[in-house]
Amino acid sequence: MSDATLVAHCGATKVSYADLLALPNPKKLGPVHTPVRHDAFVSTLKDVLGEMGYLVKREEYAIQTGGAKLFGILDFHGDGGNADRGVAMGFRHGNDMSFPMTIVAGGRVFICHNLALSGEMVVMRRRDTSGFDMPGELGDAASRFI
pLDDT in tens, 92-102: 989 988 888 88
Mean pLDDT of the region 125-133: 76
pLDDT for residue 84: 58
Helix (H, G, I), strand (E, B) or coil at 71: strand
Residue 50 backbone dihedrals phi, psi, to 5 degrees: -60, -40
Buried b (16+ CB within 10 A) or exposed e, 39-68: bebbebbbebbeeeebeeeebbbbbbeebb
Q: Compare 1 and 41 and report the one with higher pLDDT.
A: 41
Summary mean pLDDT of the chain = 83
Strand partners, 113: none
pLDDT for residue 82: 55
